[in-house]
Amino acid sequence: MSNPAWAYEAPLRDMRFVLEHVLDAPAAWAACPALAEVDLETACAVLEQGARFASAQLQPLNGPADLEGCRLEPDGRVRTPAGFRAAYQAFVDAGWPALAGEPAWGGQGLGLLLDGFVREMLDACNHAWNMYPDLLHGAAATLAAHGSDELKQRYLRRLVSGQWLAAMALTEPQAGSDLGLLRTRAEPQPDGSLRVSGNKIFISGGEHDLTDNIVHLVLCRLPDAAPGTRGLSLALVPKVLPDGSRNAMSCEGLEKKMGIRASATCAMRYDGATGWLVGEPGRGLAAMFVMMNSARLHVALQGLGHAEMAMQNALRHALERRQSRAPGVRGEHAGAADPIARHPAMRHALLALQAQVEAGRVIAARAGLALDLAEHHPDPARRAAEQARAALLTPLLKAQLTRLGFEGASAALQVFGGYGYVHEYGVEQSVRDARIAMIYEGTNEIQAIDLVQRKLLGDRGAALLALLAECSSEAQACAAEPGLDEFAQALRGQCDAAHAALAALLARHDPAQVLALAPDVMDALWWLLNAWAFAASARAALRAHDAGAQWQQGRLDRMRYGARWLLPRATLHWNRIITGAPELPELQAAQ
């Protein structure tokens, strides 16, 4: 049964606002010859079509597919739920997989910012379905950057068009977060191919019935490889070989899971499967990082999609559901009750969610723009700066938007009360589906380590200092606008704290102490980014006359709520980083 109460209206007006007024993306695109033709109207027309596809084709499948799940047939084939195959064919026929693909390989080259907005809508409507095409862009980018000419000729066009889907095969039973432990072997053959043998677990879309072929990118070890991550290589292993025969690989089981039940999570066995090296021997992890970075941003958008969906539905429910009189309402009479949206506790829940979703979309869009500029801007220095910005934002977005997706869905469930806990209303599925995004693609704890060790200390704070300079300009611009001084002050406060925190981190030499602070760094920097997004959105709202006075006021109110009620949460994290963490005791086994 579908969820009649669970409805979605794509946030097209908000997306347009972010493109036009917050980031002025069309001007940034215009500076890049490859993107110069993407103007605001083209971008909005693409988003409208994307919204239509997600709402009409994917959302009706979401609830029923969750109940049906995937099936492993006796012949080893995996059947996806009813409607998935037809929806995927429609997706390919409409050209959606190629949206951000390289034109040289049949892509439309419209850029990753626009592609990200489309993904958010697909994820909001059907996270499990979108698991299948979500890896396509990363797989194509990995092959484009590291594949041989022969592999590119054979696979790239079909991946860009979505004719064939991709899978990313890293995890093994003993090797999860620590990929250095993985054991899958690859033996070089006289004809230049590899024979790949080993067991992988938890492989999303490792086997399914959506496309005739599935291109696996498998992390493995060549003979005599060094131990640890330095000894890893990357192999392309297709389900169907170029001569049309089946490769020696099989799905040995499907996981029964808490959520995204319509996504096939496969235990894969490679039994001397034929593959080919992608990139250099022993440099597999570097090649795989192209795919993982793309996938991490896509996972962040899954979180944003869930949070948006949850927020919309919780708001609608809170405006309709009546319980008790709200404070300040005059005229007591028996049986009268107000919408729960008028009760302060529910207002907090919903305003906090709205403010964070809107700020999160601005930050995600800034990362998308950074990637577009890093790829296409004519000035090499600007390209390098935008690449560093995207690298800094990636772990923050992955960890924080997936947290928001799960916590937002859980907060929405609370707004629904008991109705939220039963299947019919849809929100419990969102809570279950959203949870995985905090775990896969590098757990959120691994993201915090990446943020501190590689993205902050790795360049001695250079990327953060560039971000702080942009935040300071925003604070200055806000201070010049009537009525926005509190945003300027809030943002300046966050910038000052960030400068002090960076100095404190750089002065610390004990890696254990630094890692003990990683969760605080992750949270503190996220609030800094929120402070920037609140300020930039408030200033942009003043310019957005076309959106109407009521909309402008609503946006300002929500951003003000964020600055006043949410940003103080950052203080605890900054203080701990600046003054030093208390000692972290070792754990003892339960008595």
Ligand X SMILES: Cc1cc2nc3c(=O)[nH]c(=O)nc-3n(C[C@H](O)[C@H](O)[C@H](O)COP(=O)(O)OP(=O)(O)OC[C@H]3O[C@@H](n4cnc5c(N)ncnc54)[C@H](O)[C@@H]3O)c2cc1C
Q: Can you give the binding site for ligand X, defined by CB under 6 A?
A: 168-171, 176-177, 202-204, 257, 265, 436, 439-440, 443, 445-446, 449
Exposed, middle or buried, 180 (CB in 10 Å: 0-12/13-18/19+)? middle
- CA pair distance 88, 266, nearest whole angstrom: 19
Find the helix packing angle between 518-543 and 344-376, rounded to 10°.
90
Dihedral sign computed on CA atoms, order 437, 443, 445, 446:
negative
Q: Choose between 169 and 566: whose C-beta lies nearer to ligand X.
A: 169
State which amino acid sits at residue 411. A
CB of 75 to ligand X, least distance (A): 23
**Closest residue by Cα to residue 240 from 228, 248, 231, 251:** 248
Amino acid type, 499:
H
Closer of 203 and 362 to ligand X (Cβ): 203
Q: Which residue lies nearer to ligand X by CB, 122 or 179? A: 179
Q: Rounded to an integer, what distance in angstroms lies between the CA atom of residue 6 and that of residue 39?
A: 33
The CB-of-159 to ligand X minimum distance in angstroms stands at: 16
214 vs 578, which CB is nearer to ligand X? 214
Structure tokens at 266: 């496969």
Supply the minimum distance, in Å, between the C-beta of residue 515 and ligand X: 7
CB of 265 to ligand X, least distance (A): 4
- The count of other CB atoms within 10 Å of the CB of residue 350 is 23
Q: Which amino acid is at 208?
A: H
Closer to ligand X at the Cβ: 111 or 279?
279
The amino acid present at 112, given as its one-letter code, is L
Catalytic residues: 441
Q: What angle do CA 204, 206, 210 make, to 5 degrees?
A: 95
Phi/psi for 200 (5° steps) reads -115, 145
Nearest distance, CB of residue 314 and ligand X, angstroms: 25
Tell the smallest beta-carbon distance from residue 300 to ligand X (Å).
Answer: 15
Name the one residue in this structure whose structure tokens are 């439309």.
108
Cα–Cα distance between 380 and 582 in angstroms, integer? Answer: 44
What's the first-to-final CA gap in the chain, in angstroms? 47
Distance CA 166, CA 3 (A): 30
Which H or E run includes 524? helix 518-543
Residue closer to ligand X by CB (options 29, 202) is: 202
How far is 393 from 369, CA to CA, in rounded Å? 12
Integer Cα distance of 510 and 507 in angstroms? 9
* Shortest distance, position 497 Cβ to ligand X, whole Å: 25
Contacts of 116 (CB under 8 A, 6+ apart): 297, 301, 364, 365, 367, 368
Q: How far is the C-alpha of 397 from the C-alpha of 297, rounded, in Å?
A: 7
Closest to ligand X by CB, 119 or 317: 119
Give the nearest distance from C-beta 132 to ligand X in angstroms: 11
Rg, Å, the chain Cα set: 24
Q: Which residue, 267 or 497, is less far from ligand X as judged by CB?
A: 267
Closest to ligand X by CB, 29 vs 132, is: 132
What's the closest the beta carbon of residue 185 comes to ligand X, in angstroms?
A: 17
